Amino acid sequence: MNDRQERVLRNWRNLLWDFVKREWFAVLLWSRLGAIGACLLRLVFQDGAVRKFFIFTYLPPSNRFDDVGLYLPYGMILKR
């Protein structure tokens, strides 16, 4: 490394260290939340039981919605 690269590297280290000293709580909090979110996404995409739990718990069942074809005549009348 030449002198300029070492100076830039030293400055980046100092800037990152100052940021972590100033914002340590936010860095730790968002790191933890990111890890937890990654674990949940991995569980949802790879584990069928967890995927079924989330689908049946949080997505509405399809029988709550009427068939769109039933409203086709009304739509045609309103269009005229």
Q: Provide the whole-model pTM.
A: 0.48
Distance CA(16)–CA(22), nearest Å, equals 10
Taking each helix axis as running N to C, give the angle between helix 3-22 and helix 24-46, from 0 to 180 degrees, rounded to the nearest 10: 90
CA distance 47 to 63: 26
Hey, where are the domains in the chain? 3-79
With beta carbons less than 8 A apart as the criterion, state whether 5 and 13 touch.
no
Tell me: the pLDDT tens digits for 37-63? 999 899 888 988 888 888 888 877 766
Indicate the length of the chain as a whole number: 80
Q: Assign 34 to helix, strand or coil.
A: helix
Per-residue model confidence (pLDDT) at position 70:
80
